[in-house]
Structure 1
Amino acid sequence: MDIDTLRGIFTALALIAFIAVWIWAWSSKRKRAFDEAANLPFADDDLDQQSKGVRHE
Structure 2
Amino acid sequence: LTAIRSHKSQTTQLEHYLPSIWQKFLRICNLNWDNICESNDQWNTKSDQRNAINIDR
Shorter-normalised TM range: 0.3 to 0.5
TM-score, scaled to structure 2: 0.41
**Which of 1 and 2 has greater Rg?**
1
RCO higher in structure (CA 8 A, sep ≥6): 2
Which structure has greater helix proportion? 2
